[in-house]
Structure 1
Amino acid sequence: MGNRPLEGIRVVEMATFIAAPCTARFLADLGAEVIKVEPPMGDPLRYTAVNEGRPLDQKENTSYDLENAGKTCISLNTKSEEGREALEKLLATADVFICNWRQSPLKRAGLDWDTLHEKYPKLVYGYVSGYGEKGPDKDLPGFDFTAFYARGGILGPLRDKNSLPMLTVQGFGDHQVAMNLAAGVLAALFKAKMTGEGDHVVVSLFHSAIWDISLMLQASQYGADSTQYPMERWKLGNPLVLCYETADGQWLQIAMPQYDRHYPILMNAMGYPELADDARYYPQKNLIPNREEFSAWITAEFKKKTCDEWCKLLDANDLPYAIAQEWDSLLEDKQAWASDCFYEMSYSNGNKRTLVRPPVLFDQMGLPPYERGPYLGEQTKDILGELGYSAEAIDELIKSGAAIDMDPALRD
């Protein structure tokens, strides 16, 4: 497929799980040749099916495909002399290196930024960290459950004070980190092509979460009770940006951040014109001491109509809202399909599954092909051959365990 902006760029990835591999997957969508280097046992994401309620089937691995579509895979034992030599030959051909190892193992392996920059000064190094590269906790293990949700200020504060913390969704923080890193890597790649000098791009789960909540985190410094999360929902400064339950048990999120503009329109639409200029609730500065009373009233009002009735009423008055969809309905959302959020993947075992595309689309490039992620070691022989190894040498590397070929059982 022509007209993709990163054609001719080679990315070497040595990363596991979600965030860093997702960055490389996005670069593959943009046309880069992405070579994933996996250890003999493979990326652990290949084996997380039970966590996600899926059958463990390498021919139908939706999680792995989501983060690794469009890549090729070479499997090397880089702890062996021969495997490390093959890795160095590969890195010498790369424009970008993507990694998420912790710093101590990186330095012991000689794959840290300083070492690689000295060898390959044009190389752009994209690095995902749990907590960043400086500070007392820089070497802690980091997952989105911990570094992003918990320590990053999402899990504890962003809940109703009387409720349990939310059920975290695996990959939520990772995908945000991935796109943050992609932005940085693309900027560094542009610089490298202009100047011949690579750069070290670092994105952490912790910092990304803090960035995500930064608007209200900053505002909390002024001490208003409407910013002191966790709180009871009625304490929020604007009750017109909350989610309300309808008569048929659905939840409707309204979004009217300009309270003084939207409040009179909503009151008239709901059939209470006398409340449109009620001094207890309008303008917004008058609402603050009366929030609990108003919250109880509007909560009860939303339970008097079905979700469909509310949708028609809000549509008729051009008031913004959305139904809080569950996943079954989201997978069938006509707008999501029409706007190319989804792709139907056909697997070699005969099954079809809905997969999600990265959220950046290009008009001139068009939609990139959605190719499944590579099987472990699927292109080991091809990549080694391109690096100059003879067929005999490749066979010897595989025989010694320095390189791993694909499981023959996975051949379609």
Structure 2
Amino acid sequence: DSPMIPTNGYGDYQCSVFLVAGILAALQGREKTGEGDYVTCALQHAGIYTLATGMISAQYGNPYPKSRLEVNNPLNNVFRSKDQKWVVLCLPEYDRDWPRVMHLIGRDELADHPDYKCCQTVNDKGLAPEVVKILDDGFAQFTREELLKMFSENDMPCEPAQTPTDIYEDQNALINEYIKAVPYPDGPRWCPTAPVQFELGETDDLIPGGKLGSATADVMKELGYSEDEIKAAEEEGAVSGPVDLAVLQGK
């Protein structure tokens, strides 16, 4: 209903993946032509490309952001369950599936409703908000698990709109190691792994990084500083060694 507030770094990962692909393409080009190239990938460019479908369809009358109450097909939508969780329904064949959905949510009397049974009529008469309200009320009768089971048994695509905490318990994500636990001293914390997997290599274990400043001495040694110079720099506050998180938080 409004522009999405993304999580931090949402576009950085896409940009880095595109940049890697560009570098590999340039390497292939150099192998074939003997001529190198200079590769760039701007954050804005990566974001525009990632939203390519929306970028193209907006000029054909399908602008974003859009309200879930004003969709062209109310059966391609998101709905909140009885236990206040979200599911994503994807039924592009509205006219075929409308009666089936009405049966599942206990509204058989609307299965053959002249205003609701045809997607074109819904759009021509601007009835999408009414239809979505009917669906909202119907879906709110069931828990998310009940909805997923019900639609799966009737061969209709309906999936959970998962939050990060849902993913922590997602068996597909866990078994395939899409996330792995980092063994921090105060207990494990989940972290996504790199999204490309290779048959010949296993997903590396994730290990905690050092504290802020933990590499200061090593870096200074590489730059040619002596042990005495490093110690003096730390004592005068010019550089810092390892710092506990509690100190950084002012505790």
What does residue 300 of structure 1 align with?
Answer: 137
SS for the counterpart of 2:15 is: helix
Structure 1, residues 219-266: CA drift from partner, whole Å, max 9, x if none? 22133xxx2334432211111221111222222221223434544443
SS for the counterpart of 2:41 is: strand
What does residue 206 of structure 1 align with?
Answer: 44
Does residue 169 (structure 1) correspond to residue 4 (structure 2)? The answer is no
Q: Structure 1 residues 379 and 264 mapped into 2: Cα distance closer, same or farther (>3 Å)?
A: farther
The CA distance in 1 between the partners of 2:67 and 2:153, in whole Å, is: 31
CA RMSD of aligned residues (A): 3.3
What does residue 362 of structure 1 align with?
Answer: 198
The CA distance in 1 between the partners of 2:74 and 2:148, in whole Å, is: 18
| Structure 1 residues 237-276: aligned runs within 5 Å | 237-272=72-107, 275-276=110-111
1:361 positional shift: 1.0
The CA distance in 2 between the partners of 1:361 and 1:286, in whole Å, is: 47
The CA distance in 1 between the partners of 2:43 and 2:197, in whole Å, is: 24
Q: Counterpart amino acid of 2:169?
A: E
SS for the counterpart of 1:286 is: helix
The CA distance in 1 between the partners of 2:119 and 2:8, in whole Å, is: 38
Q: Is the 8 A contact 1:380 1:405 kept in 2?
A: no
The CA distance in 2 between the partners of 1:383 and 1:185, in whole Å, is: 29
Structure 1, residues 200-232: CA drift from partner, whole Å, max 9, x if none? 221122122222222133222133xxx233443
Q: Structure 1 residues 354 and 243 mapped into 2: Cα distance closer, same or farther (>3 Å)?
A: same
Q: Counterpart amino acid of 1:354?
A: W
Q: Counterpart amino acid of 1:313?
A: M
Q: Is the 8 A contact 1:269 1:317 kept in 2?
A: no
Structure 1, residues 276-331: CA drift from partner, whole Å, max 9, x if none? 55443344323212322212211111112222221221111122222233332322
Q: Counterpart amino acid of 2:37?
A: D
The CA distance in 2 between the partners of 1:407 and 1:210, in whole Å, is: 41
What does residue 153 of structure 2 align with?
Answer: 316
The CA distance in 2 between the partners of 1:168 and 1:206, in whole Å, is: 14
Q: Structure 1 residues 371 and 196 mapped into 2: Cα distance closer, same or farther (>3 Å)?
A: farther
Q: Please, what TM-score do these two structures have when normalized by structure 1?
A: 0.49
Residues matched between the structures, number: 233
Q: Structure 1 residues 383 and 191 mapped into 2: Cα distance closer, same or farther (>3 Å)?
A: farther
Q: Counterpart amino acid of 1:252?
A: V
Structure 1, residues 3-37: CA drift from partner, whole Å, max 9, x if none? xxxxxxxxxxxxxxxxxxxxxxxxxxxxxxxxxxx
What does residue 219 of structure 2 align with?
Answer: 380
| Structure 1 residues 77-88: aligned runs within 5 Å | none
What does residue 233 of structure 1 align with?
Answer: 68
